[in-house]
Structures are given as structure tokens and as C-alpha cells.
Amino acid sequence: VTDQGKRPPAGARTGAVSGATGEMIFSGDELLRGDTLNTNQCYLGERLLDLGIFATHALTVADDLDAMVQAIRASLARRPVVIVLSGGLGPTEDDLTREAVAEALGRPLEHHEDLLDAIRARFASRGYVMGDSNRKQATIPRGATVIPLTGTAPGFFVWHGPTLVVALPGVPWELKQMWQATVEPVLRDRPEPEAASGSHGASASAGASGSAGASNSDSSQAVRRIRTFGIGESTLAELFKDYDWHDPEATIGTRAHLDGVTLILRGRGSAEGLRKLDAIQQRVLDVLGDKVYGVDGEGLSEIAGHMLRERSLTVAVAESCTGGMLGKCLTDVPGSSAYFMGGVTAYDNQVKMDVLGVPAGMLAQYGAVSEETASAMAEGVRDLLRTDCALSTTGIAGPDGGTPEKPVGLVYIGCTIGGVTTVERSIMYGQRDQVRERAAYAALDLLRRRLLQAVEE
């Protein structure tokens, strides 16, 4: 059931933000109370940007029908390319998204027996009997397309004027699966704006994105994320201090996270816009060299994993201050069993000695948090698990335990490859969790740079 054939061209816009815009509406008292962190917003904001759609509004609304209807109407009035609603598709009284969309769009709700069968089958496959309350989940606004179930809450989308209204379940993994399988392809294939309706301002393109896909029309958008590790935002600011960061042809933004600073370039998909993006990218690469670990795409764990796999090398980890986080990062990647052999969480000195063979005298002379110990830990786990490479972490995560010589945040990262061991010393900022997470990423980054050097030598 769809009325896609009737949809007018998407994305005609006026106002300060040029190009295709998107909006997000999150429903749920638990989000407003602070019981649940709105991770769906982070996910959707990033995915929209991937599609060259710039999020202009994200609103969290109570589980209240009037409030939701008002929010949807206000959003529709701004004529975005897409409005994504998250949550409120469950079977309970406070799940009101279906009703709110129907009312805001002026469409009746219709029952779909085949959808009810699918929900019933989903329950049965897990050995449950569907309750009566779930019946309401099989109703969706007239003309909407059902998004195939991932859990038990069906999503749907419907074109309304130039806007795709999408309703997704609040459960993050269900939302992500539906986004990837159904919503993203629909948005990528959205119609090019026609001159007649796009004449009031910049308008949307069909899914131009990233370094690869931008079409060459003036209205298309390109986004590029240049990912760096080991530099601060101020270094990037310095690099572009003469640049107009708001140049509409190529706008620069940064995002600092524990896995590094990302430079986010947003530009027009025109030939001139793409040339500017290329020039900025080249300037970053020229100045930062191997501190750039990727453009778009993968994170440090995936990149290190690919490099190990390509070189047919195995890795093990010996972790003190990261307490298993490094092994977790490496095994986050599907297929990591091809190169990750295992790890030792050697928190106590006795374990460093007994399991990893760190000499007692070394620990007494230099301490557990030292270059020598980091080196011995890496070599110890490499020998123990008979791998080609190994990483180690030892540091003072805090909040206590720091001294003037060894302050909180001090971390030594060891890396041994092909009989050559190197250790890097850093002082990580932040509280205990940030210090530990940064240390894990720093270890992955050291592995990446060492593997890169091994190829260049």
C-alpha cells in the first residue's frame, strides 16, 4: 500500500540552510526523564548526513497525542525532505505514533490483517502467544508502506507532499535495521527536485553522499568525514585559520570523540564544490600524514583488523588499565577471529609476572606503569599466545593513584611486531572511563601506524 506515485518533488526549501533538510521527532517520557539516552538521534543524524540531508531540527516529545500532532505539523510546515519519528509504535496506551501521524496527515488508520499475521508469527517463532493489545500495531495510516518487521513493532513510511514521513520503533537495533534495509534506499532513490517546485531556493538531490557519490549538479550535496587520531581540534583549527569555515561551497566542521577528531566537510556536489573538498582533503593529508586514518567509512578497530588480515598476521593483547576494552574493540569486528588470538587482563602485578613473565625486578625498579613494563607485557603475551603482533596497555586511570611523576591519565602503550617493540607514552585527558577508552583507541592506532610502517620499510 503506497501512494509513492503521487508524491511531488522533494526538498524545495527556503531559509538559511540550503539543500535537503531532515527533521527528527523522538517520542517517549523516558527520554525526557533522562532514563534513556537518545542514541537514536546520534545514529539518525549521522545517517542523514551520509545522504547529504542536513538535520535542522530534533525534538523530543512526551507520550502525548496533541504534542506529537503539533510537532509533526510544525515539521511538515518547514517542508523537509524527511521527518523521522522514533518510538511509540508498541502495543501500550502510551504508544501513539500511528495515531499522531494519521491525525497530522489527515489520513485514517487502516487495519492490515497480513501485518497482524506477521506480528503473530514473530511471537510464535519465539514460543510466545501474541496478546490482544498487539492488534493495534497492525494499523497504519492509509497510503503508508509497511516496513518489514525486525522485532515485533512494525514501522512505516508515507510521502506527504515533498516530505517522506517515516515512523520507526524506538528500540535502537530495530530502528537501525529498518533504516538500513528500507529507509535509506528509499531516500537514496528520492526524486530529483523539478525546476518548477525547486525554484524558491536550493533543493535536494538524489542521495548524493560522501566522496564517491555526488552527482555533478549544483543542488546536490557532498559530505566527507576525514578521521584523525592523535591531534587536537585546535590543530585542525590552526590548519584552516585562514579559511572561511562557513563557505557554502565547502563548510568545515569538527567532531571530537575518544576515537579521534573528525573533520566533517560539507559541500555542494557541483564540480567547483567537489574540487574544494578535494583540496581541503589533500591539505589535511599533506600536513597530518599518517595521523589521518580514514576518509568516511571504517573506525580504528576495522582498519587495524583489515591490515592484519591483508598481511595474514595475528595479534594478542595484554591489558592492565584498559581491563579488556582493547580486546572488546578488536572483537567488535565481525570475522576478527581470523587475526585476534586472545588476551590477558593482567591487572595485578602478580599476574603480570606469573602469566606474562614480566620480571619482578623490572616492576620493582620501574613500576607497573612504565615503558619497560609495557614492553615486557607486549612481548610476554606475544610469546604466550604465539602471535605475530601484540599490544599492551598500562596506565593510571584514576581518579586516585597519581603522583607528580606519574599523574592520573599517564598511559604507556606497547606494540610488538616482527621482533621490534615500541612503546608510546601519553597523558590522556578525562575521567577514568575516558582515559581507559582513549588508551584502547591509542593502542589500535599504534598498531595501525606500525603496520603501515612495516609496509613502507
Q: Which residues bind ligand ATP (CB under 6 A)?
A: 26, 28, 30-31, 36, 38-40, 86-90, 95, 151, 153, 169-172
Instruction: Return the number of the residue (34 or 404) whose C-beta is nearest ligand ATP.
Output: 34
* Smallest separation, CB 363 to ligand ATP (Å): 44
> Side-chain half-sphere of 168: how many Cα atoms within 13 Å?
30
* Smallest separation, CB 145 to ligand ATP (Å): 17
CA 41, CA 175: separation in Å to the nearest integer? 11
| 185: number of Cβ within 10 Å | 11
Q: Which residues pair with 77 in a beta bridge?
A: none
Q: Which residues pair with 295 in a beta bridge?
A: 226
* Smallest separation, CB 127 to ligand ATP (Å): 18
CA diameter of the chain = 80
Instruction: Return the number of the residue (35 or 242) whose C-beta is nearest ligand ATP.
Output: 35
Instruction: Return the number of the residue (75 or 86) whose C-beta is nearest ligand ATP.
Output: 86
CA 130, CA 127: separation in Å to the nearest integer? 10
CA 45, CA 86: separation in Å to the nearest integer? 12
**Residue 21 contacts residue 202 (beta carbons within 8 Å):** no
**Residue 34 contacts residue 217 (beta carbons within 8 Å):** no
CA 71, CA 64: separation in Å to the nearest integer? 11
Q: How far is CA 310 from CA 149, 227, 339, 452, in A?
A: 37, 21, 10, 12
* Smallest separation, CB 156 to ligand ATP (Å): 12
- Helix 65-77 to helix 97-105 angle, to the nearest 10 degrees? 50
Instruction: Return the number of the residue (92 or 234) whose C-beta is nearest ligand ATP.
Output: 92
* Smallest separation, CB 110 to ligand ATP (Å): 19
* Smallest separation, CB 233 to ligand ATP (Å): 27
| Long-range Cβ pairs for the range 62-69 (8 Å, 24+) | 62/27, 62/29, 62/32, 63/27, 63/28, 63/29, 63/88, 63/94, 63/95, 63/96, 64/96, 65/96, 65/99, 65/100, 65/103, 68/25, 68/27, 68/96, 68/97, 68/100, 68/104, 69/100, 69/103, 69/104
Instruction: Return the number of the residue (171 or 183) whose C-beta is nearest ligand ATP.
Output: 171
CA 148, CA 160: separation in Å to the nearest integer? 21
Total number of residues shown for the chain: 457
* Smallest separation, CB 41 to ligand ATP (Å): 6
* Smallest separation, CB 140 to ligand ATP (Å): 13
How big is the CA angle at 37 (ends 32 and 39), to the nearest 5 degrees? 120
| 382: number of Cβ within 10 Å | 27
* Smallest separation, CB 157 to ligand ATP (Å): 14
Instruction: Return the number of the residue (90 or 267) whose C-beta is nearest ligand ATP.
Output: 90
Instruction: Return the number of the residue (30 or 184) whose C-beta is nearest ligand ATP.
Output: 30
CA 38, CA 116: separation in Å to the nearest integer? 29
Instruction: Return the number of the residue (40 or 394) whose C-beta is nearest ligand ATP.
Output: 40
Instruction: Return the number of the residue (138 or 374) whose C-beta is nearest ligand ATP.
Output: 138
DSSP state of 170: S
* Smallest separation, CB 47 to ligand ATP (Å): 14
How does strand 139-141 pair with strand 109-111? antiparallel
* Smallest separation, CB 39 to ligand ATP (Å): 4
Instruction: Return the number of the residue (169 or 398) whose C-beta is nearest ligand ATP.
Output: 169
Instruction: Return the number of the residue (147 or 308) whose C-beta is nearest ligand ATP.
Output: 147
